[in-house]
Amino acid sequence: MANYQELANLVWNVADDVLRGLFKPHEYGDITLPFLVLRRLDCILDEDGRKEIAINTYNEFKDKVSDEMLPPIILRAINTSFYNTSQYDLSRLKDDPNYEDIDEYYHREVKPHVPDSWIDRERDKIGYEINFNRYFYQYTPLRSLKEIADEMLELERKSEGLLNEVLGL
């Protein structure tokens, strides 16, 4: 198996080949990270046929139990903490030349599960954004000025010693 650095280089090389000209290099992470996460989730669901088991379990119980009871049943059946009962995943989307109308998808896949949701066409944009910072960012407090000053003084002290050593003083 490739090491971490080889995988990171592969991802950034692909991003550079595919995204060059469409996005600035400093924006590559905003594009690649969501797709890497989504692809990894797809791969987990592909293991042992979990995706099909989730869909079959959903179809088996959707008319027998309330909507609130469905998630625990599906999660128990596939032994993960998440599931996808949609017919769409990254592999299928990549191979499907006939992308579905967003309104049809919304009314079939979103509205039944989130009845008070809506689409505001005034705010439509081409593309989408997944703000992973909102969900995964963990604040790390900044160091105090005293800590930074102490570190700089320590570096200065060490560098004086090196300079004296080089000069033979």
The DSSP string of 21-66 is TTB-GGGHHHHHHHHHHHHHHHHHHHGGGHHHHHHHHHHHHTTTS-
Residue-level pLDDT at 146: 92
pLDDT confidence bin for 63, thresholds 50/70/90: very high
Residues, the chain: 169
Residue-level pLDDT at 120: 85
Report which residue type is found at 74: I
Q: What are the domain boundaries of the chain?
A: 4-138, 143-169
Check if the beta carbon of residue 16 is closer than 8 Å to that of residue 3: no
**CA 57/CA 72 separation, integer angstroms:** 11
Residue with tokens 């066409």: 121
Question: pLDDT digit string (tens) for 80-128?
Answer: 888 888 777 777 776 666 666 778 888 888 889 888 988 888 877 665 5
Q: What is the DSSP letter of 137?
A: -
Residue-level pLDDT at 73: 93
- Kindly report the CA angle at 7 between 29 and 38, in degrees rounded to 5? 55
Residue-level pLDDT at 11: 78
**CA 113/CA 106 separation, integer angstroms:** 10
Check if the beta carbon of residue 83 is closer than 8 Å to that of residue 45: yes
Overall average pLDDT of the 60-67 stretch: 91
